[in-house]
Structure formats: structure tokens, C-alpha cells
Amino acid sequence: MNYRMTKEVIDLLEQFEIENTESYYPANTNGFKDWLCDKSLSENKRKEEPYWEGKEAGRTPESAISTLLVHLNRYAKTYSKSAISDSDFTTQEDFIYLINLKAFGKMTKMELIKKNIHDKPVGMLIITRLLKQGWIEQEESDIDKRNKIISISEKGKEALNTQMKRIREATDIVAGNLTYHEKMELIRILNKLDRFHYPIFSRNIDSKDLIKTVYEEYSFKN
């Protein structure tokens, strides 16, 4: 048995636990593998920096990332709008809510709203719209009568199935000309960002305190 290798693995696991105190990665084997992959890329496979607009004028990579994410969201919304142009869906959020209910089953209104990263007023408007269409159903919770449990109705499944071909085509277009390897790498990176932001979002920090709170609690030095 190679005890030296075993010790190296144990040391890496210990380092993973120390560096993952903010839970950027899941505390399991998959999280450890993602962390190890990131570490390998940063230490041994550092690529030449890409160009981004404004780089020569001192624009930061963080600024470029933020802008590109905003642009990609707008592109995605444009294709989604086209996918539902001949349907009874009002916005892309309508079918995304239905897709989540179909995939994950019954849940409370707030669980569904948080899963879609919406504020309560926006989420409630979407849920009200879906109820009026008869695409979702609601019932009282057995645990807390104040909560309503919602689920997708048969009519909702039919509406979703009617549009799924065009919705899938829209998602194919959003992924653009990325290769399979690039798609997998992008998913890994976006998952990492999502794991960072979701716990912050879930705390419902007041907007006026949000940036100050996050900056005080997290280090952004690379």
C-alpha cells in the first residue's frame, strides 16, 4: 500500500475543508473533485488571459464578467420570448415555474419563488397568473395551514408539453457554438458562482445593507 500517496490525499482533504469554510463547494466527493480541479487549473494549467472589451483601459475582469452575464441573460430572454410567442404563456418565468413543479413536485409558494431567485411580490404575481390559467393547483399544507402547497395541473402539463419543442430549441440556441467540453466547464463555473450567491440571496438582506454586508463577510482577494 502506498502510504505516502494516502497521506497526500488526506492532506488535500484537510486543505479542502479549511479552504471551503464558506461552502463554495458541496461538502462531499463531488465538491472535493471540483475543488481539486480548480486548484489544478490555477496551479498547473494556467491559460493565457483572454481579451475583454476595455481591458487595455484598465477595465477589471469582474466588470467584464458582470456585463457579459447581463448580456447573456438578455439574449436568453429574447429567445424565450420567441419560444412562447404563439402560446398563452406571458413570460419565460411562467414556463420555468411549471418546469420546476413538474421536475421537483409539490412545494410551498415560497419554496418555488426562492428556487427561481425571485422576490416575493414578483413570484406571487407569477403564481397568481398560473392559477388563473388553471396550470397549477393549490392545497393547504398538512404541516402549517397558513402555507399553500402548489403543484402543476394536468392542464399545466399539457400547456408545457405543447411548447417544449420550441423551449428546447431556444435553450439549444442559448448554448450557441460551445463544444461539449466547454459546456461542461461553463456549468461547473456557473454552479460555483450559484453556490456562492444563493446563500446570500436566501438571507433576504435589505438592499441598502447588501453590498456592505457581503464585503464585510467575504474576501474578494484572489
DSSP state string for 81-111: HHHTTTSS--SHHHHHHHHHHHHH--EEHHH
pLDDT band at 43 (very low <50, low <70, confident <90, very high): low
Cell of 182: 466547454
Q: Looking at per-residue confidence, does 32 or 169 come out higher?
A: 169
Q: How far is CA 92 from CA 87, 126, 160, in A?
A: 11, 10, 11
CA 178 to chain centre: 19
Residue 44 predicted with pLDDT over 80: no
What pLDDT does residue 54 have?
Answer: 94
Residue 45 predicted with pLDDT over 60: no
pLDDT band at 40 (very low <50, low <70, confident <90, very high): confident
Cα(66)–Cα(175) distance, rounded to whole angstroms?
18
Residue 184 predicted with pLDDT over 60: yes
| 24-49 average pLDDT score | 75
Name the residue among 114, 107, 108 with its Cα closest to residue 200: 114
- Return the minimum-mean-pLDDT range out of 6-10, 57-61, 210-214: 6-10
pLDDT band at 2 (very low <50, low <70, confident <90, very high): low
pLDDT band at 15 (very low <50, low <70, confident <90, very high): confident
What pLDDT does residue 99 have?
Answer: 95
| 22-39 average pLDDT score | 82
Q: Looking at per-residue confidence, does 1 or 112 come out higher?
A: 112
- Return the minimum-mean-pLDDT range out of 14-18, 45-49, 122-126, 180-184: 45-49
What pLDDT does residue 23 have?
Answer: 75
Name the residue among 117, 113, 120 with its Cα closest to residue 136: 113
